[in-house]
Amino acid sequence: MQANIIILTISVLFEYVSGKNWRFTGNMTVPREYHTATMLIDGKILVAGGDAVSSDWSTAEIYDPTLGHWTTTGNMNCTRSMHTASALKHGKILIAGGDTDTAELYDPSTGRWANTGNMNHARFLHTASVLSDGKVLVVGGMSQDQTAELYDPTTGQWTQTDDLNYSRQYHTATVLNDGRVLVVGGTV
């Protein structure tokens, strides 16, 4: 039996405050899976990369929850799928990995992407956690699933940290109130 995979452009919104059910809102411009969705300082959502069965996307678009519609924005510098996106304290968005060691920054004020320092290892299916000092901790993932590294947004450089005790992908990483990062589950 062959399964058909349909990748969607459809977006739905749940109105929790009003207690109403899910309702359709505007569609993305292209169908995506394995993409990221990150809230910008102005409350809009940046959706970047992903794939559509046979190819990865470099495209990005922004959802405006007030108007309920999508608009395209600048394309990333390379295609990415299964990458991470982190909202930095200064408002830019750090995109890292996706079967590559490259990283780039999105500037919402210009809609443009700029390359930043490369990670020490190519990785996908990893996690990225913004720490209290503004640095980003990237952990595990395929390709380098036992390594971890820190991104410093003031220098644009990555620093290798101690390795994990176990390889991880499909895991979670949560920043705790005391600054530690709890890495849970995943596969080896």
Report pLDDT for 21: 75
Domain 10-184, CATH class in plain words: mainly beta
Query: How far is residue 48's CA from residue 79's CA, in Å, rounded to a whole number?
Result: 9
Query: How far is residue 35's CA from residue 64's CA, in Å, rounded to a whole number?
Result: 18
Q: Tokens standing for 43?
A: 């409350």
Domain ranges for the chain, please list them: 10-184
Mean pLDDT of the chain: 91
Length of the chain: 188
Alpha-helical regions (H) of 25-149: none
pLDDT grade for 155, boundaries at 50, 70 and 90:
very high
Predicted confidence (pLDDT) per residue in 3-43, tens digit: 556 666 666 656 666 666 777 888 999 899 999 999 999 99
Report pLDDT for 188: 79
Report pLDDT for 18: 63
Report pLDDT for 60: 98
Strand order in the sheet with 36-39: 36-39, 45-48, 60-64, 69-73
% of the chain beyond a pLDDT of 90? 73
Flag whether pLDDT at 178 surpasses 60: yes
Identify which of 108, 119, 128 has the alpha carbon closest to the alpha carbon of residue 173: 128
